Amino acid sequence: MTTSAILGYREANEGTAAIYRPVPLRDFYRKTPPLPRAVLIAAWLATLLLSVGLGLASIVFKWSGLPLHFGGLDLHITVYPPLVFCALWTLWFGFWWGFLPAYLATLALALYSGMPPGWSLLFAFADPLALAVFAIAYRAIPIRYDLRSLNAAMFFVMIAFVGGVFGSTGSFIWTHTNALGEHQLLPIWQGWWLGAFLQNLLLVAPLLFLFTPAVTRWRDRHLPTTKRRPRPARAVLLAGATIVGGVLIYLNFTVTLAGHQVTEALRHNDGAAWRDAARIMAESTSVLYGIVVILVLFIAFFGGQLFGYWTASLRRSARELSSSNARLRREVTQRRRTEQELQVYAEQLELANSSKDRLFAVVAHDLRGPLSAAVALLQLVQEQVQTLDDEELAEHFDLLHGAMEQLLRLLENLLQWSRLQQGQWRSQPRPVGLADAAETAAEAVALRAAQKGVSLAMGITPALHVHADGDMLQVVLRNLYSNALKFTPPGGQVTTTARPTVAGVELTVRDSGVGMTQETIDRLFDAGQIRSVPGTAGEEGSGLGLTLCKELLAQQGGTIRIESRPGCGTSVHVTLPGTSRTDHPHMEGALR
């Protein structure tokens, strides 16, 4: 059979049910439905009892040493039926399913025949050795065991022969424990391996051929089986070493035991002894010659199987590698396409974001003028209303004026934010007197503070100067004062202080308001969580002020941080690069 034929057969049949696929005992109890599990356990227990019974029957009815005349040779064989059932269980369901009945049946036979317990425990391993050969070979090389092809039949014959050789090693223990002479060892050993070999060929093989399709279909439908995977090289080499080892054991035993047999016959030194010796040598040589020819063919066959298996494994690995490379190329192409699409989306998003910022800037700029005029006009009307001595009307105008001012601050913040996002507002730092800047910003909110009953305290020495953009600094300070007023109840105070630090100048705006938790502080500068929180008098805001302050300070190399606790007020610390002259005394005052 050519390598290509072997390879083609193997590739065509590797996925079939007749490939060796054992049923793991652990998965059997966990994953098998109750009815199939009960059926299989009942069948296995029946096999166990039948094996033990037939093993004892082989002793009671003396099924050992049965004469066989074949090809001019007088041979004696030993029939041991339990091995037939155990071989079927091993191939259909796995090694351990056949091991236990084989071991227990042989152990019962040994104890019944009077063998010492220690030798019996060792002797009982002989027959499972033959089953191990089947399991190792069929697990390592994926060949069908239903014997429905010449390839499968030849492989089974070879494994049956090697298994018989390994199983017959128990004959040495049997001979020793029964005090039989060396001249009886050769026929006993030959009878054991030949009987096992013939049982496999004449009984096991037909049963495999007839029942394997039905049994394996039922097994794969109801039982959890081991997935068929490519076997590593060491498993294939183990199978090859087992087969070669069995061949070498057979050759060594045949030659050695035949020599002992001839030596024993020649001790008598008479014509009959010489004739017996010649007959023994002729029979041994004939058997040895025939077996050697068959073994050479078997070894060549196994070598072809091994070569075909490895070649197929290499081809499968090459196909998998090629498939992986193709899949990798597809993934790379898809990733590049995705990156290009993401780049297009990013450009579109950037364009949309820029358009949004421009829209905000245009809307805020166009609304700011009319709204500023409306606020100024409303203030004049409010002054006239106050002369009418109508408290209810004055209160309505106060609310209206506050709402208009809040809307104006929102437009101012939106305008500054959109300018920042578009890069239209660049910081132009220059020396700025911090006290003057703070007083200017405080004057913008002084009226609101007076209306709410909140005092503004200032404690900044005129000597402190910062290196900052004056317009940006005014936006920052007005937002800080606006927030402080918003959350300070009537009768409270907002204090502004400053001190030189290693990093520059630190300005602190401290209020006596309601304060906030650390969780709230952590969210204040997150643009994605901007939200308005009503003040102590119900004032609404945009929620954008502190985020805008952080951006403006970053433009000038400054920082902002907040300290607060619920009910204990809030301190906002702003650090800006600058110079300080501390030769003037610390000045404190109150803006009225």
Domains of the chain: 3-267 (no CATH), 427-591 (3.30.565.10)
Where does the pLDDT of residue 325 fall: very low under 50, low under 70, confident under 90, or very high at 90 and above? confident
pLDDT at 580 over 50: no
| Nearest CA-CA partner of 161 in 196, 136, 126 | 196
- What's phi and psi for 511, nearest 5 deg? -120, 165
- What's phi and psi for 386, nearest 5 deg? -65, -25
Residues 18-46: what's their mean pLDDT?
A: 89
Is 378 or 83 the better-scoring residue by pLDDT? Answer: 83
pLDDT at 15 over 50: no
Across 5-19, 409-423, 462-476, least confident range: 5-19
Place of tokens 């800047």: 437
Residues 347-355: what's their mean pLDDT?
A: 67
Where does the pLDDT of residue 591 fall: very low under 50, low under 70, confident under 90, or very high at 90 and above? very low
pLDDT at 368 over 80: no
| Nearest CA-CA partner of 47 in 91, 88, 79 | 88
Contact 462, 498 (CB under 8 A): no
Q: How far apart are CA 152 and CA 182, in angstroms?
A: 38
Q: What is the structure's pLDDT at 5?
A: 39
Where does the pLDDT of residue 377 fall: very low under 50, low under 70, confident under 90, or very high at 90 and above? low
Average of per-residue pLDDT values in the chain = 76
Q: How far apart are CA 143 and CA 312, in angstroms?
A: 13
Q: What is the structure's pLDDT at 572?
A: 92
Where does the pLDDT of residue 150 fall: very low under 50, low under 70, confident under 90, or very high at 90 and above? confident
| Nearest CA-CA partner of 140 in 241, 215, 23 | 241
Q: What is the structure's pLDDT at 491?
A: 87
pLDDT at 80 over 80: yes
Q: What is the structure's pLDDT at 209?
A: 94
Is 104 or 142 the better-scoring residue by pLDDT? Answer: 104
- What's phi and psi for 434, nearest 5 deg? -70, -35
- What's phi and psi for 313, nearest 5 deg? -65, -40
pLDDT at 534 over 90: no
Is 546 or 283 the better-scoring residue by pLDDT? Answer: 546
pLDDT, tens only, 222-262: 888 876 555 555 666 666 677 667 666 766 666 676 666 66
Where does the pLDDT of residue 588 fall: very low under 50, low under 70, confident under 90, or very high at 90 and above? very low
Where does the pLDDT of residue 8 fall: very low under 50, low under 70, confident under 90, or very high at 90 and above? very low
CA-to-CA separations, 426 to 28, 42, 420, in angstroms, rounded: 75, 89, 8
Q: Would you tell me how many other CB atoms lie within 10 Å of the CB of residue 555?
A: 17
Scanning 94-182, the segments in alpha helix (DSSP H) are 95-112, 117-123, 126-140, 150-167, 170-177
Q: What is the structure's pLDDT at 10?
A: 43
Residues 429-454: what's their mean pLDDT?
A: 86
Q: What is the structure's pLDDT at 104?
A: 94
Q: What is the structure's pLDDT at 188?
A: 79
Contact 565, 515 (CB under 8 A): yes
Q: How far apart are CA 548 and CA 527, in angstroms?
A: 9
CA-to-CA separations, 271 to 274, 285, 400, 554, in angstroms, rounded: 5, 21, 143, 121
For the chain, helix, strand, coil in percent to 5 are: 70, 10, 20
- What's phi and psi for 555, nearest 5 deg? -60, -25
pLDDT at 550 over 60: yes
Burial bucket for residue 343 (CB in 10 Å: 0-12, 13-18, 19+): exposed
Is 324 or 36 the better-scoring residue by pLDDT? Answer: 36
- What's phi and psi for 447, nearest 5 deg? -60, -45
pLDDT at 582 over 50: no
Residues 419-437: what's their mean pLDDT?
A: 76
Q: What is the structure's pLDDT at 298?
A: 64
Q: What is the structure's pLDDT at 584?
A: 39
Residues 82-108: what's their mean pLDDT?
A: 93
- What's phi and psi for 504, nearest 5 deg? 150, -120
Residues 126-137: what's their mean pLDDT?
A: 88
Buried b (16+ CB within 10 A) or exposed e, 508-519: bbbbbbbbbeee
CA-to-CA separations, 155 to 116, 118, 243, 303, 334, in angstroms, rounded: 38, 36, 11, 11, 48
pLDDT at 99 over 50: yes
Where does the pLDDT of residue 527 fall: very low under 50, low under 70, confident under 90, or very high at 90 and above? low
| Nearest CA-CA partner of 236 in 320, 158, 136, 363 | 136
Q: What is the structure's pLDDT at 586?
A: 39
Q: How far apart are CA 60 and CA 171, in angstroms?
A: 18
Helix (H, G, I), strand (E, B) or coil at 22: coil
